[in-house]
Amino acid sequence: MPDLEHWPTGRLLTTAARLVEHAWNERLVDIGVTHAGIIALGVLADQGAMTQAALAQIVRVQAQTMGKTLSRLESRGHISRVRSDLDRRSQLVSVTTAGREVLRRADEIEQTLVTGGGLVSAELRSHLQGVITELGAPRWKWTVDVEPSDAVIAPLAEAAPNGSAFSANGAHQL
């Protein structure tokens, strides 16, 4: 085993993030979804129906990448797409009952991913939210409502169609 005591914090963080994602994806395959799918489902569940382009913007991926994720989710019945009444050229994407059940099961997986629930501790979440807020605010042009340690973040002009802003509160939303 490597001597982790001598690793820089950045290396520890990126290695831990990769290992968590790999472990999570290995367990998510049992419920027929990927990490990217959980993120998309989480945003849709929290913010309601929206276009593929809006969802891609909130999640910070290309629309084409989101399209592939949504196609997989749709083939498994986790989302539905319907023509927009406002713009017949676009479709609104929404989470289905089956998609909400997958989110519930993914939350259970997250709770047990690391022995002792270390991934869901309030202290770890607070530290990670602080890092994301401090480094993400200038990069993604977020406004910071309070000091980074207690930050509530909202991207400028990136609110969902229902007016709510992207939230970094839930694990499946990051």
Could you read off the pLDDT of 93-131 as tens digits, one per residue?
999 999 999 999 999 888 888 776 666 678 888 888 888
Helix (H, G, I), strand (E, B) or coil at 166: coil
| Region 71-82 average pLDDT | 96
58 domain residue, yes or no: yes
13 occurs within a structural domain: yes
pLDDT of 78 reads: 97
Q: Which domain holds residue 146?
A: 8-173
Please tell me the predicted confidence (pLDDT) of residue 119.
67
Question: Is residue 143 domain-resident?
Answer: yes
The tally of CA atoms less than 13 A away on the side-chain side of residue 5 is 1
pLDDT at 168 over 50: no
Band of pLDDT at residue 149, cut at 50, 70 and 90 = very low
Burial class of residue 82 in the structure, from the number of CB atoms within 10 Å of its CB (0-12 exposed, 13-18 middle, 19+ buried): exposed
Determine the pLDDT at residue 155. Answer: 42
Beta-carbon count within 10 A of 136 CB: 18
Does 39 map to a domain? yes
The rounded percent of the chain whose pLDDT value lies above 90 is 44
Mean pLDDT throughout 74-80?
97
73 part of a folded domain: yes
Whether residue 3 is contained in a domain is answered as no
Q: In what order do the strands lie in the sheet with 91-95?
A: 50-51, 91-95, 79-83
Instruction: Summarize pLDDT for 150-167 with one digit per residue, the tens.
Output: 444 444 333 333 333 333
Residue 61 lies in a domain: yes
> How many angstroms separate the CA atoms of 159 and 110, rounded?
27
- Cα–Cα distance between 174 and 17 in angstroms, integer? 12
How many Cα atoms within 13 Å fall on the side-chain side of residue 16? 14
Among candidates 39, 16, 82, 61, which has minimal Cα distance to 174? 39
Q: How many domains does the chain have?
A: 1
Q: Is residue 29 part of a domain?
A: yes
CATH number at residue 117: 1.10.10.10
Residue 2: pLDDT above 60? Answer: yes
pTM of the model: 0.69
